Amino acid sequence: MCGIMGYIGDRQALPMLLDGLRRLEYRGYDSAGVAVVRNGRIDLRKASGKLSRLEQVVKVAPVAGSVGLGHTRWATHGDPTDRNAHPHADCTGRVVVIHNGIIENYLALKEELLAAGHRFQSDTDTEVLAHLIEAEYRGDLEGAVRRAVSRAHGAYAIAVLCADEPDKIVAVRYISPLIVGLGSGEMWMASDIPALLPYTRHVIVIEDGEMAVITRDSVRLSSVDGRPVERPIMHVTWDAEAAEKGGYAHFMLKEIHEQPRALQETMMGRLDEGRVVLDGIRFPPGFVETLDKIWVVACGTAYHAGLVGRWFLEHLARIPTEPDLASELRYRDALLAGNALAMAISQSGETVDTLTAMRDLKKRGARVLAITNVLGSTVTREADDVLYIRAGPEIAVASTKAYLTMLAAEVMLAVDMGMRRGTLDQARARGLVAGLHALPGRAQEVLNREPEVVDLARRYASASDVFFIGRGLDYSVAMEGSLKLKEISYVHSEALAAGELKHGTLALIESGVPVFALVTQRHVKEKMLSNIQEVKARGGLVIALAYEDDEETARQAHHVLPIPRVDDLLAPILAIIPLQLFAYHVARERGHDIDQPRNLAKSVTVE
C-alpha cells in the first residue's frame, strides 16, 4: 500500500505534502517523493528510506510552489531505491504521476513504449503511465489521462500534474482508495482521510472508475469514459485517532474489515488465466520439480497459517511438508535430507525464533523462502526468495489480515508448484484460480453477517471455557480461532481434533459449554456430525461453522455461523473470519484493551 497526497491552492504545497505523507506512513513506506509545479516547470525530489530522508533532501534543495503531489511508496515492482520512488516523469519531465496500486499489464505497455522511443528511468510499473500520458497528450491533460488509463489493467489511484496545465491535478481511481478534501480556494487529495484532517473535514470519496479534475476552486467528477458524476460532500466528524482507525473502535476491527481488500492486494497481478505468476520468487531450474521436503518454520498465528499451508502443498503439489513451531525446531535434532525448502512465515519478518530456526535450516543446506508482510525486514534480507502477502500494516497485536493473506499466498504457491511438478491438472488449477478471484467478494459476504456474531458473542461472553473442534483443515482453523479468543478475551479455550475427543478430551465437555464445530470439509463431514452428537449428548452447546446451504449440519447445531460455499480447500480463508469477529466481540463485551492485550507485544524480537 502506498500513500498519496496532493495540494492545489495559494499556500506553499511542500509543508502540507510532507505532513500528509507523515500521516499516511502507517500504510507502509520504503521511499518517498514530491513534485511541485512552478513557473512552467516541475521540480522533483525523491529519497529511499523513511520520510525523514526526504525531509533532509528538501531541506538542502527546497521546492517552492503552490501545486504539488507527494507519495510514500511500499515497493511492489522494483527495489526500494531513489530512482524507483514516485513521482515518475515522462521523457520530457513535463508530466508526473504518482500511483498506489499495480498496473498488471505494464510489461507489455513498457515494451510498446520502448519500441516507440520512450526512455525509462525506473523499474516500476507506474512509469508506464507517465509515458502513456505523454504519448496521448494533445494539449488536453484530462483527455490524455482518460486514454492512458483505458489501456492499463490492474488497480490504481493515480494523480497527474502537467507543467503545461499548471492549475489542475487530474486523479483517477480504480480499486485503490482516493479522497478529495475541499477548502475555500484550495483543495487536497489523499489516499485516506487522516491525511486531510488538519486541513478540512469536507471530503468527496472518489469511487471506482471515476476521474476527478481538481482546481483551486472546483472538483469535477466524471466516469473514466467521460460521463459526468454527481457526489455529495461528506462531513467527517472523527477525531484524528478515530480517523486512523478508519472510524472503527479498534485497529483489530478495522483490520478484520480490511480483509477483502487485503486479499485483493495479495492476489493482484499474480493470477493469470488459470495460472499463478509469483513475483519475488526465482527458484533455480528444476528445483521445485525435485523438491523432497518443505519445512515450515513460524510462530503463533503464522504457524497456524503454516498448518493450513501444509494441506495446500501436500494436496496440490504432492510435496511432504512439515510445519514446526520455530521455537521447538531450534532445539530439536531434526533430520534434514535431500533437496529441502525452508519456508519461514512471519508477518513482521523480525520474530527471533523464526529467524533463528530459518538460519539453522539455511546453514544445513536448505533454500529459504520467506512469506512476510514487511518489506526490508530481516527475514527478507536473509531469505533466498520472498513472497509478500501485501496485507498492509497490521497494528493490532492480534493478527488477522496477515493470517488470511498468508493463506491466500500459500494457495498460490501450491498451485504454482503443483503445475510445475505436474501434480495439478489445468482444469483444477483454473477452478482454484477462479475460486481465489471470487474470494474478496465472498469474504465481504461473511463480514456482512457480523451482527449474528455479535449476538452470539453477547450470549457467551461470560463463558469460562470455549472449545473449537474440527478435522483436517478445519482443525487447523480451529487452532487459530482458539488463539484469537485466548489472546484478547482471556477466556480459556482449546482447539480439539474432533477425532481425538473420545481419546480423552471429551471429559472436558459438560453442560452449557460452548463448542464451535467447524464443518467445511466434505470428506469428513459425516464424522464431524457424529462428533457434534457426542458433544450434545454431554450437554455442550454447539455453534456450527458451515456452508450456508448445509441444512443438515444446521439442523444438528444450536447455532450456525454460515459462510458462502467455496472449494473446500479455500474454506479456511472464509471460516476464520467469524471466529476473529467472535473473539473481538467477546473481548469488547468483557471490556479488554483489544489492540494491546495484556502481556503481549506485536513483534517478538527476544527469545
User: Sign of torsion, CA 579 584 588 593?
Assistant: positive
Q: What is the DSSP string of 389-454?
A: -------SSS--HHHHHHHHHHHHHHHHHHHHHT-S-HHHHHHHHHHHHHHHHHHHHHHHTHHHHH
**Minimum CB distance to ligand F6R, residue 187 (Å):** 39
Going residue by residue from 457 to 496, which x/- string records binding to ligand F6R, judged by CB under 6 A? ------------------------------x---------
Peptide bond into 87 cis (omega under 30): yes
Q: How far is C-alpha 308 from the geometric centre of its chain's CA atoms?
A: 18
**Minimum CB distance to ligand F6R, residue 399 (Å):** 3
**Minimum CB distance to ligand F6R, residue 387 (Å):** 14
Question: Could you tell me which residues are beta bridge partners of residue 496?
Answer: 469
Q: Which of 66, 126, 264, 351 binds ligand F6R (CB under 6 A)?
A: 351
**Among the options 2, 110, 245, 299, which is catalytic?**
2
Q: Per this entry, what is the length of the chain? A: 607
Tell me: does residue 176 bind ligand F6R (CB under 6 A).
no
Nearest Cα to Cα of residue 132 among 97, 175, 169: 97
Distance set, CA 284 to CA 290, 382, 525 (Å): 11, 17, 41
- Give the integer Cα–Cα distance in Å for 95 and 41: 10
Tell me: does residue 368 bind ligand F6R (CB under 6 A).
no
**Minimum CB distance to ligand F6R, residue 384 (Å):** 18
**Minimum CB distance to ligand F6R, residue 300 (Å):** 2
Tell me: does residue 299 bind ligand F6R (CB under 6 A).
yes
Q: Which of 66, 122, 176, 354 binds ligand F6R (CB under 6 A)?
A: 354
**Minimum CB distance to ligand F6R, residue 403 (Å):** 8
Task: Looking at 68-149, list the stretches that DSSP marks H as alpha helix, in order from N- to C-terminal side.
Answer: 106-115, 127-136, 141-149
Distance set, CA 591 to CA 235, 490, 587 (Å): 30, 11, 6
Strands 219-223 and 210-214: antiparallel
- Give the integer Cα–Cα distance in Å for 603 and 67: 40
The footprint of ligand F6R on residues 308-347 (CB under 6 A) is 346-347
Count, residues near ligand F6R per rule CB under 6 A: 14
Q: What percent of the residues of the chain are helix, what percent strand, and what percent coil, each to the nearest 5?
A: 40, 25, 35
Closest residue to ligand F6R: CB criterion = 300
Nearest CB to ligand F6R, comparing residues 344 and 571? 344
Strands 95-103 and 88-89: antiparallel
Nearest CB to ligand F6R, comparing residues 84 and 351? 351
602 has catalytic annotation: yes
**Cell numbers that stand for 193 in this block:** 482521510
**Minimum CB distance to ligand F6R, residue 245 (Å):** 18
Nearest Cα to Cα of residue 142 among 171, 99, 113: 171
- Give the integer Cα–Cα distance in Å for 209 and 225: 9
59 has catalytic annotation: no
Going residue by residue from 393 to 412, which x/- string records binding to ligand F6R, judged by CB under 6 A? -----xx-------------
Whether residue 560 contacts residue 546, with contact meaning beta carbons closer than 8 Å, is answered with yes
Distance set, CA 513 to CA 255, 379, 542 (Å): 29, 42, 8
Three-class DSSP category at 261? helix
**Cell numbers that stand for 437 in this block:** 478471484
**Among the options 362, 527, 536, 602, which is catalytic?**
602
Three-class DSSP category at 413? helix
Nearest Cα to Cα of residue 573 among 277, 325, 310, 305: 305
Nearest Cα to Cα of residue 518 among 318, 308, 372: 308
- Give the integer Cα–Cα distance in Å for 440 and 269: 15
**Minimum CB distance to ligand F6R, residue 354 (Å):** 5
Stretch that binds ligand F6R, among 22-30, 32-40, 90-98, 300-308 (CB under 6 A): 300-308
- Give the integer Cα–Cα distance in Å for 495 and 400: 18
Four-point Cα dihedral 335, 341, 347, 348, nearest 10: 80
Q: Which of 191, 259, 327, 348 binds ligand F6R (CB under 6 A)?
A: 348
Nearest CB to ligand F6R, comparing residues 318 and 486? 486
Nearest CB to ligand F6R, comparing residues 321 and 372? 372
**Minimum CB distance to ligand F6R, residue 353 (Å):** 8
Three-class DSSP category at 13? helix
Strands 271-272 and 202-205: unpaired
**Minimum CB distance to ligand F6R, residue 134 (Å):** 42
Q: Which of 6, 20, 101, 300 binds ligand F6R (CB under 6 A)?
A: 300
The footprint of ligand F6R on residues 239-298 (CB under 6 A) is none
Whether residue 202 contacts residue 187, with contact meaning beta carbons closer than 8 Å, is answered with no
Active site residues: 2, 602
> Using CB under 6 A as the criterion, which residues of the chain lie in contact with ligand F6R when the complex forms?
299-302, 346-348, 351, 354, 398-399, 487, 603-604
